[in-house]
Amino acid sequence: MTLFLKNLLFTLIVPGTMAVWLPKVVRESNGIAWDGAWSAPQLLAVPIGIVGVAIYLRCLWDFAHRGRATPAPIDPPQVLVVEGLYRYVRNPMYLGVLLVILAQVIWFQSPALGIYFGAFWLFVHTFVLLHEEPALRRRFDGAYVAYCRAVHRWIPGRAYPQ
């Protein structure tokens, strides 16, 4: 299977489920619907959602182009990806997905979606701490440790030196 198809499949299954399908389930199970009127929340949500999608796609490109792999744990990058948005924050792909969910919280002004957003962030943060970071430390050793010292986990900061 080509790298493009693997990344497309991963995107549809994982971020597609977390950022599109599950929020839709939350909305439907709580009777949340958009009334069709554009107002400040929708105007604010659109750019946030667009930025989230753009961040995710840029990170996907970096994984495929630089890492020659997918974000899927079963097909991890062969090299530590510290380019693109990864120069500024360690988890930009998760941040992109979180922004897509946040856009829906704002769009629908939904406490239920807000709870889903918080639960998803907590899940991701726990996954990063307990699985992803230890796995990257084992795989890339000193390079990953140096990267962690220089780049924040969630808040973008100074660029990682090339």
Tokens linked to 117: 């957003």
Question: Could you tell me if 32 and 113 are in contact, meaning their C-beta atoms sit under 8 angstroms apart?
Answer: yes
> Distance from CA of residue 49 to its chain's centroid?
12
The span from the CA of 154 to the CA of 132, in Å, is 14
CATH class of 3-150: mainly alpha
Region 4-13: mean pLDDT is 89
Q: What percent of the chain is modeled with pLDDT above 90?
A: 78
Q: What is the pLDDT of residue 46?
A: 98
Could you read off the pLDDT of 113-140 as tens digits, one per residue? Answer: 999 999 999 999 999 999 999 999 999 9
Per-chain mean pLDDT for the chain? 94
Q: Is 160 left (phi over 0), alpha (psi -120 to 50) or beta?
A: beta
Q: What is the pLDDT of residue 1?
A: 64
**Domain range list for the chain:** 3-150
Could you read off the pLDDT of 91-114 as tens digits, one per residue? Answer: 999 999 999 999 999 999 999 999
Q: What percent of the chain is modeled with pLDDT above 70?
A: 99
54-74 in b/e form (b: 16+ CB < 10 A) is ebbebbbebbbebbebbbeee
CA distances from 146 to 2, 82, 101, 129 (A): 32, 11, 31, 17
Q: What secondary structure does DSSP assign to 29-76, as a single string?
A: HTT----S---HHHHHHHHHHHHHHHHHHHHHHHHHHTTSS-SSTTS-
Q: What are the E-state strand segments in the chain? A: none
